[in-house]
């Protein structure tokens, strides 16, 4: 008699092997049909934030995500409203230290270097 644990372990192995076989098949078929330089669609993205200094981690999201999208080759614009407008002051930016992210002053320097427009 098959226990539930044995059944789940067996079905997991079967699913993993089927997934691996499908990935190999898909990779080989894509390599044959697609040209090596597939054109990626460039997106035009407007990011809006109203988070200010009371939520430093959330306030830095728009800059971090905008930077990542710009580095991926997309056109990004950042629009700050309400409390986020205070993030345009140098003293305020230097005081914002998000949890688990680099300081906002570093991220903002990279955003400026990428020439991402910021509207406030």
Assign 12 a pLDDT band (cuts: 50, 70, 90).
confident
d(CA 107, CA 98): 11
Nearest alpha carbon to residue 120 among 92, 84, 69: 84
Q: Which pLDDT value is given to residue 61?
A: 94
The rounded percent of the chain whose pLDDT value lies above 70 is: 73
Report helix, strand or coil for 4. helix
The tens digit of pLDDT for each residue in 26-49 reads 555 555 555 555 567 889 999 999
Q: How confident is the model at residue 117 (pLDDT cuts 50, 70, 90)?
A: very high
Locate the domains of the chain by residue range: 1-37, 44-119
DSSP character string of 6-55 = HHHHHHHHHHHHHHHHHHHHHHHHHHHHS-SSPPPPPPEEEEEE---TTS
All residues at 6 or more sequence positions from 41 whose CB lies less than 8 Å from its CB, including other chains: none
pLDDT of residue 9: 72
Enter the pTM of the model. 0.65
d(C-alpha 111, C-alpha 8), whole Å: 48
Name 110's Cβ contacts closer than 8 Å, sequence gap at least 6.
67
The answer to whether the beta carbons of residues 111 and 63 sit under 8 Å apart is yes
């Amino acid at each position: 008699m098959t226990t539930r644990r044995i059944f789940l372990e067996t079905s997991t192995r079967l699913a993993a092997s089927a997934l691996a076989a499908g990935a190999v098949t898909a990779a080989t078929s894509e390599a044959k049909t697609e040209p090596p330089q597939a054109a990626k669609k460039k997106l035009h993205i407007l990011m809006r934030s109203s988070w200010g200094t009371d939520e430093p981690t959330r306030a830095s999201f728009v800059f971090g995500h905008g930077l990542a999208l710009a580095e991926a080759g997309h056109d990004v614009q950042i629009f700050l409203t309400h409390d986020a407008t205070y993030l345009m002051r140098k003293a305020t930016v230097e005081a914002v230290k998000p949890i688990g992210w680099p300081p906002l002053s570093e991220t903002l320097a990279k955003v400026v270097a990428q020439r991402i427009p910021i509207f406030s």
